[in-house]
Structure 1
Amino acid sequence: MAAHRSWLLVSFFLLDLLLLEAAKILTISTLSASHYIAMSRVSQILHDSGHNVTKLLYESVYHPDFRKEKPSYQVINWHLPEDQQKKFDNRQRLLREEIMYGRFGHQTIVKVYRNFGNLCSHLLSRKDIMEFLQNENFDLVLLNSLDFCSLLVAEKLGKRFVSFYPGQFSFMDVGLPSPLSYVPVYGSGLTDQMDFWGRVKNFLMFFDFSMKQREILSQYDSTIQEHFAEGSQPVLSDLLLKAELLFVNSDFALDFARPLFPNTVYVGGLLDKPVQPIPQDLENFITQFGDSGFVLVALGSIVSKYLTKEVIKEMNSAFAHLPQGVLWTCKSSLWPKDVRLAPNVKIMDWLPQTDLLAHPSIRLFVTHGGMNSVNEAIQHGVPMVGIPFFADQPENMVRVEAKKIGVSVQIQTLKAETFALTMKEVIEDKRYKSAAMASKIIRQSQPLTPAQRLVGWIDHILLTGGAAHLKPHVFQQPWHEQYLLDVFLFLLGIILGTLWLCLKVLGAVARYLSGSRKVKQT
């Protein structure tokens, strides 16, 4: 029955493809690292499905293997003039160091977006690029929800767009219903199972979160004022709600169950690639440890650059206590010269992460908790020990712990002995592996693959002329109507008016009765 239903769904999507002509789709990528990887993958999927894809790409030093890629779709590269580019890169480097050395906070995020706001102003002033994009007459724009400049580009072009949300919803309000009794606010560290004090904390943090979001979005105010005519200047928070579809790089294998609108589509696992055999030298290393297996350590391209000598030393010492082999993505050029590599550890500049996570001998994944890495671990049923550093990583690890797939270790308190004990616990306690396999089944047993869902829904709105039928009217209501404040005040007025009238009538009756008694007494 399930197979028959899956076949029918695939058939409907294939029918849509036959009826639909290839669309011209613009994808935009100005953010780096994992955001760049996600948008490249989405662009390739749309191109492979038959659409004409053009990607507007900001060249960044933080794009992994950027110049090695040879995509089959059109890419428009742009960058700042050399002097401005150096200033921008220096500011980004200082901010990344600020993040990595334990000073990450809201004001750091504000500085990051202020830097990207200035970058956006330069892009919008590039008449050659903007005129080219306008003349191409794209049918649709696909953008990263956290790349606010791409929202302004889509608005400038006057094109419909769909959003790809790269992480958990909690980082930015995109208009979804979020009951505070069981939907945790970003930064709260809460799960969907809150006690009384948890709900109090979540309620109070909602107001703090709302003010912080407004401050982040305000970093683009000067760019908007400069490039949009007065009277037609968009509001970023409103643009976030204009997306025809909202694709989310997660699903309920990791995320907490919550209310969604019909135009919200989970595509967790979208970035997963076909598994390839691992190189022979890695296979030889793994074989040395027999049934004990191996541990994969990958802390992301950005984090790995800024690990301190003390952290590397403690981690290396902890790995030496494990019976497993350890494959660690760590550049040899960054390895401290006075730290002797543990005998069971192999460091490499790059490792085939997906292929190693799929290897039958893997026992544990030590990760920074980035969404792409967490998704890959879930895809292959591998338990995790997370060392979250910044951004969505702590929030992702809250969900990993809540699902019993792994545990978190704080970088500020990481010590070799306790870190080794934590890893041994996750490896030896079979409940973590069972939970990881359960999440894997939840993800892989869905009727359509993430790529099929992405392409199928985009084709759907191209065929139907948009997603007006999927978006609730609430997006067009002022906030006082959304929260029924007008209704509440109206009913309160009726109640108070009725009470006032009743009191007046009772007062009049009381005066009348009092007057009658006085007349009788006389």
Structure 2
Amino acid sequence: MAGGRAPRVLVLLCILHLHCLQGFKILTVCLAGGSHYLLMDDVSRIFVENGHDVRMFQQIGKGSIPGYKLTSTPYPVTTYTLDEKLLKEYDDMFEQSQKEFFMGNAAISSYFTLMDLLAEQCQATMNQTEIFDFLKKEKFDIVILEAFNPCTFFVAEKLGVPYIALFSGSFFNFMSVGLPSPPSYVPMFPTGHTDRMNFLERVKNTFMYLGSYVMDKIIESIFSRVSEAHFPADSKTSLGELYQKAELWLYNVDFSIEFARPLLPHVQCIGGLRAKPAKPVSKDLEDFIAESGDSGFILVALGSMISSIPITDVLREMNSAFASVPQKVIWRYKASQWPEDLKLASNVKLMDWVNQNDLLGHPKMRLMVSHGGLNGLMEAIYHGVPVLGIPLFGDHSDNLARIKARFMGDYIPPYEIKSDNFGGAIRRITQNKR
């Protein structure tokens, strides 16, 4: 019997090998903008470079990246644009949320409001019959979806194709995925704790663990209307069930900053996809950096979605702090939105968009001022650049707590920024040889 089984296994391996040589048909799904899109673009390009046939289904018109110019892609893209009403609802919500973030008033209710808007947008997305008919005819082997927007799971389910979930944040959806997370040493989102908690911190952590269950159930109920409206009675499914159906969960985290925690075989960490060897910067940037001498320069990048700071007092304090340090400062900030009555520090250069990775790899790079998004932190770690964080929302505080615990930098909440403490933090970090 063993002898009869071996040839069958060999034939199967040969067929699989032949299929791999021909490449798979892969659909990547991205219904979010900003860094979520940039990460999925990298993933799509990686599979194209490895000989696979890739198409992206992308929702555009919301969460676009201020200052970023879309480049041509080596893969075809099927796009869908939301109507003006849904776009305006999202833009108004995000504009108001930005002000709340910088004032330190971000609340969990803002996250539920976002999920409610995404569920409403999902209803419109699922009604795109022509797009779904076209994608079904393509007969994809696998779907790789960007899992921050839960609607991507319903898209894959409607197509009837197996899927892999790529989560661009940390493990705060652990309960939906079924990941064991002992609250005694695994810090919960969004406590900002490390894995070295005292008794009271563990008590708080346990309550947050229980809160994660409630949070998941609320989001599941928000998206239940999508299943009710777009799936037959005999095939209705919940968001929790769709999370469990993923063939593989990929997380944009890396062992260099993540604390020890239990993982399962279908969970893999792939942090650092956007970090790569730096290319030379443009001549005007090189000339500006050269003026810094040995002091070098600082990069300020508060996320792909934040083109300006909506609170003038915070902007004024940061600008004053930059004026007090010897480094040059390259600040990703939309110049047209700079207040007319605020004189820009002489050592600061504003840019609508920057190639963050290339600047981080420059030999005169001294410090990155970051909001704490994982893509930027991974690039800073790759290039060995210390970080001064300004956590705004989501997992930023947790990410920066890990950076501080690893002695890779420090952070200051935006509502606590003053010229003296912000400038002092810059000098403390840039002068610390460690």
Q: Answer yes or no: is the 8 Å Cα contact 1:172–1:213 preserved in 2.
A: no
- 3-state SS in 2 of match to 1:261: coil
User: Which position in structure 1 is the counterpart of 2:149?
Assistant: 147
Q: How does 1:49-448 map to 2 (within 5 A)?
A: 49-64=50-65, 68-173=70-175, 174-431=177-434
Q: Answer yes or no: is the 8 Å Cα contact 1:109–1:216 preserved in 2.
A: no
| One-letter amino acid matched to 2:107 | G
CA RMSD after TM alignment: 2.0
Cα distance in structure 2, aligned partners of 1:60 and 1:339: 32
Q: Answer yes or no: is the 8 Å Cα contact 1:100–1:303 preserved in 2.
A: no
- 3-state SS in 2 of match to 1:68: coil
Please state how far the C-alpha of 1:257 moved relative to its aligned partner. Answer: 1.6
Cα distance in structure 1, aligned partners of 2:250 and 2:39: 12
1:437-473, Cα deviation, whole Å (9 max, x unpaired): xxxxxxxxxxxxxxxxxxxxxxxxxxxxxxxxxxxxx
Cα distance in structure 1, aligned partners of 2:69 and 2:418: 38
Q: Alpha carbons of 1:17 and 1:104: their partners in 2 closer, same or farther (altered >3 Å)?
A: farther
Larger Rg belongs to: 1
- 3-state SS in 2 of match to 1:426: helix
Cα distance in structure 2, aligned partners of 1:391 and 1:286: 33
1:137-171, Cα deviation, whole Å (9 max, x unpaired): 11000011222111011111221111111011125
Please state how far the C-alpha of 1:367 moved relative to its aligned partner. Answer: 0.7
Cα distance in structure 2, aligned partners of 1:93 and 1:320: 28
Cα distance in structure 1, aligned partners of 2:210 and 2:386: 35
When the two structures are superposed, what TM-score results if normalisation uses the length of structure 1?
0.76
Q: Answer yes or no: is the 8 Å Cα contact 2:32–2:62 preserved in 1.
A: no
Identical aligned pairs, as a percentage? 39
| One-letter amino acid matched to 1:307 | P
- 3-state SS in 2 of match to 1:103: coil
Q: Alpha carbons of 1:75 and 1:67: their partners in 2 closer, same or farther (altered >3 Å)?
A: farther
Alignment gaps of 5+ in structure 1: 1-14, 432-522
Q: Alpha carbons of 1:19 and 1:83: their partners in 2 closer, same or farther (altered >3 Å)?
A: closer
Please state how far the C-alpha of 1:51 moved relative to its aligned partner. Answer: 0.9
User: Which position in structure 1 is the counterpart of 2:33?
Assistant: 32
Q: Alpha carbons of 1:51 and 1:391: their partners in 2 closer, same or farther (altered >3 Å)?
A: same
Q: Answer yes or no: is the 8 Å Cα contact 1:225–1:233 preserved in 2.
A: yes
Please state how far the C-alpha of 1:61 moved relative to its aligned partner. Answer: 4.3
Please state how far the C-alpha of 1:238 moved relative to its aligned partner. Answer: 2.2
Cα distance in structure 2, aligned partners of 1:392 and 1:113: 16
Aligned length: 417
Cα distance in structure 1, aligned partners of 2:63 and 2:147: 19
Please state how far the C-alpha of 1:57 moved relative to its aligned partner. Answer: 0.6
Please state how far the C-alpha of 1:101 moved relative to its aligned partner. Answer: 4.7
Whose helix proportion is higher, 1 or 2? Answer: 1
Q: Answer yes or no: is the 8 Å Cα contact 2:68–2:353 preserved in 1.
A: no
Please state how far the C-alpha of 1:172 moved relative to its aligned partner. Answer: 4.8
Cα distance in structure 1, aligned partners of 2:143 and 2:317: 46
Cα distance in structure 1, aligned partners of 2:19 and 2:256: 32
When the two structures are superposed, what TM-score results if normalisation uses the length of structure 2?
0.91
Alignment gaps of 5+ in structure 2: 1-15
Please state how far the C-alpha of 1:357 moved relative to its aligned partner. Answer: 0.5
